[in-house]
Structure 1
Amino acid sequence: MEQDIVHTDIKANYTTPSHRKRRITLHNVVVDEMRHDILEGKLKPGSKIPEVALCAKFDISRTPLREALKVLASEGLVELLPNRGAVVRKYSSKDVKDLFELMPPIEGLIGRLAIKHATEEDISNIEYLHERMLDFHQRKRRSDYFRVNQQIHMALAQATGNKALVEEYERLSSKIIHARYLANTDQSRWDESADEHIHIMQALKARDEERLSELLSIHVSKTGESVVVALQKQAPEEQR
């Protein structure tokens, strides 16, 4: 019995690297596709995640699917319900409005502290992301644009060097990620948002503290207004 166990372990050691690589790649594919389907509205807010169908689609067992769901839950896109599976997270327009009212002063603070503490490397990295984001906008790749957009906002928060601020920003952002994407489904707001980011990048490179603070605050305020209008159009009166 012991020899069998040792043999199995040795065999596992030989196969683990390639298996791990395939597992990580598949995990990323599952997370990316599910995130895309949620953000694009293929999986509707409040709807139950069809675990059996998704397992069949990706040819995986429940365990890797649930690992993917945990990632999406940490991003605020999915809610895990004990003994009931998972559902796409749903917020009323009032919930979203309340959350977005908190964001302008936080974004403004991020702007001020980022100017004070960002290194040249931080700014260079953000500029790289900025160029990628604008490229995705030109190519109408909405979900890719949004993904990089979120990376930019998080990079700005991290550039402040304030751990407590980053954690609070992360917590609030996870609750409005789907709503933020919804704002970009309106083409005019998407174009306006991309233009606002050009001015944000200019202020960051110029290290203009007041300008960056103001631009970030206005940017998230406009996004919030656009989202609330979109949600009110979608939701029945009693859910508002």
Structure 2
Amino acid sequence: MNTTHIIDKLRDLGLNGMVEAVEHHATTPAFADLPFHDRLMHLLQAEAAYRDDRRLKRILKGARLKIPAAAEDIDYRAARNLDRAQMAELLTCTWVRQAENLILTGATGTGKTHLACAFGGHAARVGLTVRYYRTHQLLEDMAIAHQDGSMNRLRTAIARFDLLILDDFGLTPLTESGKHHLLDIVDARTRSASILLAGQLPFKEWHAYIDNPMVADAVLDRMLNTSHRIQLSGESMRRLTSPAR
């Protein structure tokens, strides 16, 4: 059987990573001298890498991250108040697998969104599903879904993700329905999936911001007992990273 027939059969079986590897072998003399088992292992590794890459692209597309940030690009300058040991532990993504939460707070420009997206991108790279929302956007989507009867479908869609990133928390006032939708999100994911919540508002001001004692108590109780926290500080990262004039 010639190489063309082998490639056609691999395509029929959906083994596209192996197709690329066989084509590479055919044009690279060095592979001809390898033992059968070594060549087979190379083909299997190529298929596994191809599938991992396809899965990562699919997860990142579904994540809709605002910024294509990478964990290796995180800025650890001292003024930012990032603890390297804590960051190393968080970047294992154990907290996501254990359905814990992460709260990022800090003033405007301290890099909350960039850091949130770096965590999201890193989670995707280890095979976890992620979805990014600005908080008010998701709450608006839920209000619309409540009106048009599609709430169950939206809840099901959100529940599919291992990590839900809610950015810009506290940036806009909550409507009364928004307060209950926020509790709905937090309650649905308690002990089953993770939330990364990023915003300017310090945790101690959440109760006053939610401004509904029963809802606020419920949200804070669920978040407080299952959350890691990072309080960013320092100068605006936008100013520090902008080109010199």
For the pair shown, the structure with the greater C-alpha radius of gyration is 2
More helix by share: 1
Task: With the length of structure 1 as denominator, give the TM-score of the two structures.
Answer: 0.27
- Greater per-residue strand proportion: 2
